[in-house]
Amino acid sequence: MEANDNYQAIVIGGGLTGLVIGFYLKKAGINFRIIEKSNRPGGVIQTFKEEGFTYEAGPNTAVLSHPEVKELFEALGDACELEIADEEAKRRLIWKDGQWHALPSGLIEGVTTPLFSFSDKIKLLGEPFRKPGDNPHEPLSGMVKRRMGQSFLDYAVDPFILGIYAGDPDYLIPKYALPKLYNLEQNYGSFIGGAIKKRKEPKDEREQKATRDVFSVKGGLENLIHALVDAIGEENIILNAGDVTVNPSEDGYEVSYRNKQKEKIHLKSRQVVSATGSYEIPGILPFVSKELIHAINNLKYARVAEMSLGFKNWGGMELNAFGGLVPSKENRQILGALFLSSFLKNRAPEGGAMISVFTGGYRKPDMAKLTDEELTQIVEKEVKEMLKLDSFNPDILRIFRYEYAIPQYGAGSLERLEAVKKTQQQYPGLIIAGNLRDGIGMADRIKQGYEVAQEISKLA
């Protein structure tokens, strides 16, 4: 082992979470390495450019929901530019009875929309006066039915959950999956009243950075990855690392992996962070008790197939919205489609369109397992009918599959979070991060990355 194989911190996983940790460790002057299994950093974030189209293989956009997002872009300076989505992105379409309807954004639309039943619209008037629930394990579907009614569950919350989690409101637990919504009920007694009161509360300069705008990155999300890698320094990121395992050693941990040539490499570090999905944890941390590992690894993920479709000459319906979501109740084959070129710049040639169509999800995992031909046939049929396209001849058609796309914070979340805490207490200097806790979106990952780096810096 060489003398410089002794680090203050090692980060396992070079996706967005691991890279943000690395970025702030570098800024803090910490001696660290990121160890990444694949041959490129960035994890599920990957941008492609061809024939005048720019499209994403994984996430497409995120929400500026934490100040840490704005601060990261500020810290990166000119290296990459935040792109806030056009106004179009505020318009969301929901499929009902063979056509799209805009999700109401105001009172009058709320009263006239055919998405919700008359009785539920009346019921909604009483929402601020309904007493808060007292079961922290209540699934999202129960909470929404109790406060708002079945049609709001079917035509607002179910498609919203498909859009964010590719998930199922019967499985997700609001306390963990939608903590802001859960806290509105718990702290203010009502979603509506709480949201109004929260909006009126004064926000300090830092809080104002969380504008809730939809954002991407100019030229594609991977430009954020390039900017992070440049700032971290390629020499601090080890790629193609197989069989990564951690074991306690005197003065910290020994991290072992196989390099590209299959040689076993051993590094020492005072602190170690895992920034991978929960399914990787048993292999990475073999020394942790079976009981704790079982609880950490109890997390289910939604399987998703994403199809990127580029049309040089778009001849379908006007795509003047963020996209369209398809409620489970409508029994269609797709979860929804994002109309990327309608709200982000330079995603398709003039007069063309770039669309991402999603299939699979927690309720229909087998859809994402279909062959490319089967998936294409299904999407062709759905897109032609739903986006009013006479013939389906995309200039770009790419399919990206994810077995572990989005974690589902449902039953077992409390046990998982407690097991993470207990393990970290038993093994000081070990941090179990990644999307198994603290949120599933890119903004959540950036926030966690920043916080973990602070934690490491304090002990380094």
Ligand X SMILES: Cc1cc2nc3c(=O)[nH]c(=O)nc-3n(C[C@H](O)[C@H](O)[C@H](O)COP(=O)(O)OP(=O)(O)OC[C@H]3O[C@@H](n4cnc5c(N)ncnc54)[C@H](O)[C@@H]3O)c2cc1C
Measured CA to CA, the distance from residue 66 to residue 77 in angstroms comes to: 18
The reply to whether 22 sits near ligand X by the rule CB under 6 A is no
Does residue 119 touch ligand X according to CB under 6 A?
A: no
Integer Cα distance of 402 and 356 in angstroms: 14
Residue 35 engages ligand X in binding (rule: CB under 6 A): yes
Residue 410 within binding range of ligand X, rule CB under 6 A: no
How many residues bind ligand X, per CB under 6 A?
38
Residue window 301-330: x/- pattern of binding to ligand X, with contact defined by CB under 6 A? ---x-x------------------------
Q: Beta strand 252-258 with 264-274: parallel, antiparallel or unpaired?
A: antiparallel
Cα 175 to Cα 183: distance, rounded to the nearest angstrom: 8
Q: Shortest approach of ligand X to residue 284 CB, angstroms? A: 5
> Quick one: tokens of 436?
């198994």
Check binding of 68 to ligand X (CB under 6 A).
no
Rule CB under 6 A: say whether 361 interacts with ligand X: no
| Contact between 402 and ligand X per CB under 6 A | yes
Closest CB 380 distance from ligand X, rounded Å: 20
* Tokens coding 429: 């200097």
Q: How far is the CB of 422 from ligand X (least distance, A)?
A: 22
Looking at 47, 61, 141, 413, which residue binds ligand X (CB under 6 A)?
61
Is 312 in contact with 433 (CB distance < 8 Å)? no
Give the angle subtended at the CA of 114 by the CAs of 109 and 120, to the nearest 5°. Answer: 90
Nearer to ligand X, 153 or 399 (CB): 399
Residue 241 contacts ligand X per CB under 6 A: yes
Query: Token digits for 37?
Result: 């299994």
Q: Enumerate residues 257-276 that contact ligand X by CB under 6 A.
A: 275-276
Question: Is residue 349 a contact residue for ligand X (CB under 6 A)?
Answer: no
Interface residue with ligand X among 11, 284, 319, 357 (CB under 6 A) is: 284
Binding residues for ligand X restricted to 429-458, rule: CB under 6 A: 434-435, 440-442, 445
In the chain, the amino acid numbered 109 is E
- Rounded to the nearest 5 degrees, what angle is found at the Cα of 309, between the Cα atoms of 306 and 312? 165
Burial zone of 318 (CB within 10 Å; 0-12 exposed, 13-18 middle, 19+ buried): exposed
Interface residue with ligand X, options 11, 53, 59, 335 (CB under 6 A) = 59
| Both structure tokens of 235 | 């020499």
Q: How many CA atoms lie within 13 A of 193 on its CB side?
A: 16
Residue (42 or 169) nearer to ligand X, CB: 42
CB of 142 to ligand X, least distance (A): 26
Encoded tokens for 439: 């949120």
Answer yes or no whether residue 217 interacts with ligand X by CB under 6 A: no
Q: How far is the CB of 33 from ligand X (least distance, A)?
A: 11
Write down the least CB distance from residue 237 to ligand X, Å: 10
Going from the C-alpha of 15 to that of each of 216, 393, 403, the distances in angstroms are: 17, 34, 16
Q: Does 124 bind ligand X (CB under 6 A)?
A: no
Q: Is 92 in the site for ligand X (CB under 6 A)?
A: no
Residue 17 vs residues 205, 236, 320: alpha-carbon distances, Å: 25, 15, 33
The yes or no reply on residue 375 touching ligand X (CB under 6 A) is no
What number of CA atoms fall less than 13 Å from residue 355's CA on the CB side? 31
**Closest Cα to residue 49, out of 203, 218, 263, 280?**
218
CA 275 to chain centre: 14
CA distance linking residue 181 with residue 426, whole number of Å: 33
Q: Residue 18 interacts with ligand X (CB under 6 A)?
A: yes
Residue 347 binds ligand X (CB under 6 A) = no
Q: What is the DSSP string of 180-221?
A: HHHHIIIIIS-HHHHHHHHHHS---TTGGG----EEEETT-T
Q: Which stretch binds ligand X (CB under 6 A): 60-68, 70-78, 98-106, 149-157?
A: 60-68
- Residue closer to ligand X (CB basis): 256 or 298: 256
Total number of residues shown for the chain:
460
Nearer Cβ to ligand X, position 157 or 389? 157
Q: Among residues 45 and 292, whose Cβ is nearest to ligand X? A: 45
CB of 274 to ligand X, least distance (A): 8
By C-beta, is 145 or 437 nearer to ligand X?
A: 437
Binding site for ligand X (CB under 6 A): 12-18, 35-38, 43-45, 58-62, 241, 244, 275-277, 280, 283-284, 304, 306, 402, 405-406, 434-435, 440-442, 445
